[in-house]
Structure 1
Amino acid sequence: MPTTPATTAETRSQHPAGEAGPVPGGTAEPIMLELVDESGVTTGTAEKLSAHLPPGRLHRAFSVFLFDSAGRLLIQQRALGKYHSPGVWSNTCCGHPYPGEAPFAAAARRTAEELGVSPSLLCAAGTVRYNHPDPASGLVEQEFNHLFVGLVQDEPRPDPEEVGETAFVTAAELERLHRERTFSAWFPTVLDTVRPAVRELTGPSAGW
């Protein structure tokens, strides 16, 4: 399982490879998110940080769950330099489409940018709407999240500005790690929602 040390860099422009976004008071161009209503219909745009300030503004997001041939889930530890939920563990990849970008395209793009892999058999697995405050940063996730599941055949090559570590875990190993380490506030919600699609992808023997 590859491990990559995290860095403290967190300043990106609006349309480069990364989606890290500016730190409060930073000088980079802001990343814009797509605001939506409760049905997922686009209502406008907002700068990324402002959309996460309490009480949060409902915006479009995506979450990716990739599995290897043994049915193990690829998880990542978010880089320590991120201003939102740094250092916590989460699913394979999370992020936000650019305004007007299809969630599927954004999911594939960010997985390649963050982890250096191209998912195969990537399939939509529904949506979930949630409101999760992050106690550590004081920010709020008000998201209409598009879920995707797929397979990964290559070893991850993480971008250290985005990802601290990666690991492939079985369902039992994930349960243990969830008790021992800090995971993102949204992780239990997206995992529970995506489980039916994961079982269809990996088969019952994987234990998901």
Structure 2
Amino acid sequence: MRTTPATPADTRSAPPAGRSAGDAGAAPEDAAEPIMLELVDEDGRTTGTAEKLSAHLPPGRLHRAFSVFLFDSAGRLLIQQRALGKYHSPGVWSNTCCGHPYPGEAPFAAAARRTSEELGISPSLMSAAGTVRYNHPDPASGLVEQEFNHLFVGLVDEEPRPDPAEVGRTAFVTPAELERLHGERTFSAWFSTVLDTARPAARELTGPAAGW
């Protein structure tokens, strides 16, 4: 049975606190090699690389990212609450999956890989939904999201099996349920920006009855 709309009683239990380096396809924190991101210019052209944390320190360095929006057969959006142990935006709700491609990795490939790693699912009919460039400081951590973000929408027909180091809870929500939850819970600084940009592709994928 699918996860039902998010409420304190029907979402997955959050895991115990503990730092995770799983953001954006990261390797374990004690890995010998630093986690590198792909820096880009305002047109999304690669300009170099930077270590992950340094790219997020104020004022931030513009880098490539991706955001995924997956919907079930009823047109409900799968959202996640980020694990409490993540160093960036822990415990906040956000879209299905977010992250950063490895340098040289295609954003589509990174999005499919990371969705599997975080949620244990394989999207179908996943397609590009545009790009958006934004600058969003995170008040809680003091980090800055300077991102050139590649957006993707797709379908999912299996129950999420989230990695507890990455994801605390999941829920499938309608637009009305999302609006209510958005007023009750804290969402990621980038969530509204990426959702608004992805809405046209979401409507095309799910149909007008879904209400996106």
TM-score bracket for this pair, using the shorter chain length: over 0.9
Q: 2:26 aligns with which of 12, 19, 24?
A: 19
Q: 1:88 to 1:99 in 2, by over 3 A?
A: same
Q: 1:90 to 1:21 in 2, by over 3 A?
A: farther
Q: 2:75 aligns with which of 46, 52, 71?
A: 71
Partner of 1:6: 15
Gaps of 5+ in 2: 4-10
Partner of 1:186: 190
1:68-147 to 2 correspondences below 5 Å: 68-147=72-151
Q: Deviation at 1:7?
A: 3.5
* 2:56 counterpart of 1:49: no
CA distance in 2, matches of 1:75, 1:176: 14
Partner of 1:201: 205
CA offset digits 1:151-170 (Å, max 9, x no partner): 00100000000000000000
CA distance in 1, matches of 2:13, 2:208: 32
Letter of the aligned partner of 2:43 in structure 1? S
CA offset digits 1:61-80 (Å, max 9, x no partner): 00000000000000000000
CA distance in 1, matches of 2:34, 2:20: 9
- Contact in 2 for aligned 1:67/1:150 (Cα 8 Å): yes
- Contact in 2 for aligned 1:6/1:160 (Cα 8 Å): yes
SS in 1 for 2:73: coil
CA offset digits 1:146-185 (Å, max 9, x no partner): 0000000100000000000000000000000000000000
Q: 1:18 to 1:103 in 2, by over 3 A?
A: closer
CA distance in 1, matches of 2:19, 2:113: 19
Identity across matched positions, percent: 84
Q: Deviation at 1:113?
A: 0.2
Gaps of 5+ in 1: none
SS in 2 for 1:161: coil
C-alpha RMSD over aligned residues: 1.6
Q: Deviation at 1:18?
A: 4.8
Q: Deviation at 1:4?
A: 4.4
Q: Deviation at 1:139?
A: 0.2
CA distance in 2, matches of 1:87, 1:65: 19
CA offset digits 1:187-208 (Å, max 9, x no partner): 0000000000000000011111
CA distance in 2, matches of 1:6, 1:31: 24
